Amino acid sequence: MLGLHQDEIDRRYMQDALELARKALAAEDVPVGALVVHEGRVIGRGYNQREKLHDPTAHAEMIALTAAAEYLGQWRLENCTLYATLEPCAMCAGALVLARMPRLVYAATDPKAGACGSLFEITQDPRLNHQVETIAGVLAGPAAELLRDFFQHRRALGEK
């Protein structure tokens, strides 16, 4: 994406993450998508699959991180950026720190479970051995709308 400013690049990759979130929605899971970019190339993709896999850890971010580590052949995800449509939870934020992810870009904030600025600041905690540059709010509107529509639909069906 030569010649583009970083904010334009971030928006383009977040569009791709939103497409992944729509896959989660189609699978009747919370519509969250994530991807990992390394030196201009997408090396990991994920969307929420907790319902499909019956796995509480099958968050979009975890799936994308695992795919990226496999692609690189190592657990250190240096020179990478994770794009997520929702602010990562404590588990996912912890995984970002452990993976030595240098940069996180997310769309919508999560006031109930967000661990990158809302409830906790795991990615920026100076007590940890690594901090993650964190950029919030990129395409927050479309991401929040997907989530809002999903949960309104679930409540209309009498689900939580």
DSSP string, 75-129: S--TTEEEEEEE---HHHHHHHHHTT--EEEEEE--TTT-TBTTS-BGGG-TTSS
Residue 80: count of CB within 10 angstroms of its CB: 23
CA distance 23 to 45: 11
Confidence (pLDDT) at 1: 61
State how far Cα 102 lies from the chain centre. Answer: 14
- Of 8, 28, 51, 61, catalytic: 61
**Tokens 């449509």 correspond to what residue?**
85
| Six-digit token string for 50 | 């907790």
Confidence (pLDDT) at 158: 80
Confidence of residue 44 (pLDDT cuts 50, 70, 90): very high
3 state DSSP class of 41: strand
pTM of the model: 0.94
Told to judge if 61 belongs to the known catalytic residues of this protein, a careful annotator would answer yes
Q: What percent of the chain has pLDDT over 90?
A: 92
Confidence (pLDDT) at 60: 98
